[in-house]
């Protein structure tokens, strides 16, 4: 019984290494990779435009990593004025490490719906909100903040690009290695794996695997694509995924 982890580097390799330490058979198969975002050069100016009580959001650890590297390169600093928010615990930790600020984040699920329930985000009319994110992604956060009267700006800090594989070759490899559990942390990667796998392997192997996902929304998408055995981890970080896999 082996586990296929589709997380990007380096989290994917880290999870595989921890699983192997526990005596499990696991493989890393990253489906996407990250490159600097198109709007990074404007980041410093956007941060400087935020004043006291404005809002700064980071939607992933990658957004924080790329933003911080850009600021260091320009010898600029994270601003003191705005209130800082993150989509979840892992991102909040990364943001706190680079900014030394207190970060507000939802405790239970790492999704926009839960983040938007925070008391500090209810009366925000007239405030500026800067959202650090990757290319694409959901628009729910920005649209809801706008509907509550905030002036919303996005900054694309990184781009996700699909890695190219020979679908038949990979499906044959993972089936022959006895992969029966798949770890998937985004809808984009779920769709990509489904599309990459030829129909015969999809029916005889892929959809028969147990799927570990990180949200109810992802589980719903998986059911629509044909998976039946689906488990939802507490959150998207490796600690939570490891607990679920044990």
DSSP string, 169-194: HHHHHHHHTTEEEEE---HHHHHHHH
Torsions phi, psi of 138, nearest 5?
-80, 150
Structure confidence by residue, pLDDT tens digits, 100-146: 999 999 987 778 999 999 999 999 999 999 999 999 777 999 999 99
Q: What percent of the chain shows pLDDT beyond 70?
A: 100
| Domains of the chain, first to last | 2-31+164-245 (3.40.50.10090), 35-161 (3.40.50.10090)
CA distance 127 to 150: 5
User: What would the pLDDT profile of 77-112 be if each residue is shown by its tens digit?
Assistant: 999 999 999 998 889 999 999 999 999 999 877 789
Distance CA 31, CA 11 (A): 12
- Give, in order, the Cα–Cα distances in Å from 24 to each of 13, 69, 212: 14, 35, 16
Global pTM reads 0.75
Where are any strands of DSSP class E within the chain?
Answer: 2-5, 25-28, 32-36, 55-58, 83-86, 103-104, 128-134, 151-162, 179-183, 210-213, 230-232
Q: Is the dihedral of CA 194, 27, 185, 228 positive or negative?
A: positive
pLDDT in tens, 33-42: 999 999 999 9
In this prediction, residue 74 has a pLDDT band, given cuts at 50, 70 and 90, of very high
| pLDDT value for 118 | 95
Q: What is the pLDDT of residues 146-184, one digit of tens each?
A: 999 999 999 999 999 999 999 999 999 999 999 999 999
Asked whether residue 4 carries a pLDDT value surpassing 90, the answer given is: yes
Question: Which pLDDT value is given to residue 90?
Answer: 87
Indicate whether 245 pLDDT > 90: yes
Judge residue 13's burial from the number of C-beta atoms within 10 Å of its C-beta, 0-12 exposed, 13-18 middle, 19 or more buried.
middle
- With a CB cutoff of 8 Å and minimum separation 6, the contacts of 134 are 34, 37, 59, 60, 62, 63, 156, 157, 158, 159, 160
Local structure of 81: helix, strand or coil: coil
- Averaged confidence pLDDT in the chain: 95
């Amino acid at each position: 019984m082996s586990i296929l982890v589709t997380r990007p580097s380096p989290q994917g390799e880290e999870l595989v290494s921890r699983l192997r330490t526990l005596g499990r058979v696991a493989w890393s198969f990253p489906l996407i990779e990250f490159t600097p975002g198109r709007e990074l050069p404007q980041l410093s100016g956007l941060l400087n435009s935020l004043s006291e009580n404005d809002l700064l959001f980071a939607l992933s650890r990658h957004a924080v990593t790329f933003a911080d590297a850009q600021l260091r390169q320009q010898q600029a600093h994270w601003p003191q004025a705005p209130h800082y928010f993150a989509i979840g615990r892992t991102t909040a930790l990364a943001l706190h490490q680079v900014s030394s600020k207190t970060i507000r984040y939802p405790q239970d699920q790492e999704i926009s719906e839960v983040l938007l329930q925070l008391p500090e985000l209810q009366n925000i009319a007239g405030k500026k909100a800067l959202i650090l994110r990757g290319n694409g992604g959901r628009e729910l956060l920005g649209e809801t903040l706008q509907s509550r009267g905030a002036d919303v700006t996005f900054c694309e800090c990184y781009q996700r690009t699909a890695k190219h594989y020979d679908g038949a070759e990979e499906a044959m490899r993972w089936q022959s290695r006895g992969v029966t559990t798949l770890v998937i942390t985004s809808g984009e990667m779920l769709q990509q794996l489904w599309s990459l796998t030829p129909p015969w392997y999809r029916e005889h192997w892929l959809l028969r695997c147990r799927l570990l996902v990180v949200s109810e929304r992802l589980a719903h998408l998986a059911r629509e694509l044909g998976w039946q055995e689906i488990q939802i981890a507490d959150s998207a970080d490796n600690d939570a995924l490891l607990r679920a896999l044990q």
